[in-house]
């Protein structure tokens, strides 16, 4: 089935405002939203939401309603995206990613791991996180930094995807960890990736739709919580996330566009967390806070 992109074309400033509006409507449901520059000289940008073809009618209607108040003058345009085997495509020329002491590589690049590096083998598959996205790489770099600054007894990888961050934490710290995702496919893939990386004990994988899940009770509170999700869900879950953080614990947050940074910080400052450091990678930020 084809994928569809619905988008509006406008200025950079308005595109950012449109992105905020459509993020509020669609991000929590897992739809991808994005802005991109089309013409630098003329300040032309697009703000888009992506969906499968059978969802187009519903998404278009909701998008029109969301834009009706401030942006009704912007016509909604449509693009049918080419059907590509993204798994195969993503492996073409996919070089290892180095972040701190970590190197994340596909099975085709095992021979490129250097002495002293912490290697994590992740092939592109059915779950997010090969280490090549700025958010994953940022989390890996921040994890190494946090580990140098304090003692960590247990870890939560919230929204684990491929499991790359949970595997990285275990290989670096060798402490118990819980890795959760709302998607059972991601949970299965993460567990398989852990085995592939020689992690057969110490990590627990669970499908958990929220902090009310019983999966958290046996492991909470956590000395370190890593949550690489999206800005709006991160803001929404701030009270519950902080409630599961041990005194003096650290939080690493990512999946946050640079322009969304202040909103996320405000949500967690409201829960009495202190900002320590922000990493910037390819328009995305990774934030370290402490309790």
Contact 158, 241 (CB under 8 A): yes
Question: Could you check whether the bond before residue 191 is cis, i.e. omega within 30 degrees of 0?
Answer: no
User: Residue 252 is encoded by which pair of tokens?
Assistant: 């690493």
159 is in an annotated binding site: yes
What interhelical angle do 164-173 and 134-149 show, nearest 10?
20
Report the C-alpha gap between 235 and 214 in whole angstroms. 22
Report the C-alpha gap between 105 and 118 in whole angstroms. 11
Where do runs of H (alpha helix) occur along the chain? 12-26, 56-67, 86-91, 134-149, 164-173, 184-196, 231-236, 238-243, 261-269
269 is in an annotated binding site: no
Contact 11, 45 (CB under 8 A): yes
Report the C-alpha gap between 66 and 81 in whole angstroms. 23
Contact 272, 291 (CB under 8 A): yes
244 is in an annotated binding site: no
181 is in an annotated binding site: yes
Annotated binding-site positions: 136, 159, 181, 228
Annotated binding-site positions for S-adenosyl-L-methionine: 136, 159, 181, 228
């Amino acid at each position: 089935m084809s994928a569809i992109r619905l988008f509006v074309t406008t200025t950079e400033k308005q595109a950012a405002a449109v992105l905020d509006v459509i993020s509020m409507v669609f991000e929590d449901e897992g739809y991808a939203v994005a802005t991109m520059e089309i013409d630098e000289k003329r300040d032309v940008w697009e703000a888009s939401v992506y969906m499968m073809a059978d969802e187009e009618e519903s998404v278009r209607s909701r998008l029109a309603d969301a834009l009706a108040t401030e942006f009704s003058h912007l016509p909604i345009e449509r693009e049918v995206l080419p059907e590509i085997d993204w798994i195969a495509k993503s492996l073409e020329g996919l070089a290892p990613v180095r972040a701190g002491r970590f190197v994340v590589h596909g099975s085709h690049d095992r021979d490129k791991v250097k002495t002293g590096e912490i290697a994590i083998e992740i092939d592109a598959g059915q779950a997010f996180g090969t280490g090549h996205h700025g958010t994953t790489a940022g989390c890996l770099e921040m994890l190494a930094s946090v580990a140098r600054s304090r003692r960590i007894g247990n870890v939560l990888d919230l929204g684990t995807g491929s499991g790359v961050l949970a595997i990285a934490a275990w290989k670096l710290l060798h402490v118990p960890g819980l890795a959760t995702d709302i998607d059972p496919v991601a949970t299965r893939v993460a567990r398989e990736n852990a085995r592939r990386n020689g992690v057969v004990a110490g990590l627990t994988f669970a499908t958990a739709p929220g902090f009310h899940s019983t999966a958290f009770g046996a492991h909470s509170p956590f000395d370190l919580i890593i949550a690489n999700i999206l800005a709006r869900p991160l803001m929404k879950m701030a009270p519950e996330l902080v409630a599961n953080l041990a005194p003096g614990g650290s939080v690493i947050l990512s999946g946050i566009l640079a322009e969304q940074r202040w909103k996320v910080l405000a949500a967690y400052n409201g829960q009495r967390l202190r900002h320590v450091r922000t990493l910037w990678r390819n328009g995305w930020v990774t934030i370290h806070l402490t309790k």
